[in-house]
Amino acid sequence: MPKKIIERFMPKPETLRNHKHLQMFGKLLHKPNLWALNRRSAPMAFAVGLFVAWIPMPFQMVFAAALAIIFNCNLPIAVALVWVTNPVTMPFMFYAAYLFGAKLLSHPPQEFTFQASWQWIEASLSTIGPPFLLGCLAFAIIFATVGYFVVHNLWKYSILFKWKRKKRQY
């Protein structure tokens, strides 16, 4: 399983416990399953991280950490996966979410040019906001579900592969 690969890239628990934005969770960060990498915590962490990655909000890492605590899954994976949406990928992902939401609502996609201003955001909430938010929610659910089952099945098949290999050795 890619467990060893994931462990290589995971930050140390102390690093995340001491992160200035995560200190608000206090002793909740001391739950052992938040740092465990096993067949139960990893798939759920992928689901949490991918779900939050599609939610257009500031401080996604804090929201992912809160959900990881609630669902008792691997916190470093959940927090790291929100970086799927980064300044490079965000425009493409959110435009795809807008197009998908417009298709779900049977609205023709409107042409717009993005402006980094509060006035533009307020004006756009009534026009492109509903399809965009619906598309983000739909993609969040889809990617979280797919991510969960892909990691769950990869973990399951890697265990079966190890058992078969051990059987052959004896």
pLDDT digits (tens, 9 = 90+) for 17-62: 777 777 777 777 778 788 888 888 999 999 999 999 999 998 899 9
What value does the mean pLDDT take over residues 54-74?
93
pLDDT beyond 60 at 1? no
Give the separation between CA 26 and CA 9, rounded to whole angstroms.
24
Give the separation between CA 168 and CA 40, rounded to whole angstroms.
27
What value does the mean pLDDT take over residues 81-103?
92
Contact (Cβ atoms closer than 8 angstroms) between residue 154 and residue 147: no
54-93 as b/e, with b when 16 or more CB fall inside 10 Å? Answer: bbeeeebbbbbbbbbbebbbbbbbbbbbbebbeeeeeeeb
Q: What is the pLDDT of residues 106-154, one digit of tens each?
A: 988 877 776 677 777 777 777 888 999 999 999 999 999 999 999 999 9
Report the pLDDT value the prediction gives residue 2, as an integer from 0 to 100. 61
Contact (Cβ atoms closer than 8 angstroms) between residue 84 and residue 53: yes
State phi, psi for 111 to the nearest 5 degrees: -80, 140
Report the pLDDT value the prediction gives residue 50, as an integer from 0 to 100. 97
What value does the mean pLDDT take over residues 78-85?
92
Confidence of residue 3 (pLDDT cuts 50, 70, 90): low
pTM (2 d.p.):
0.82
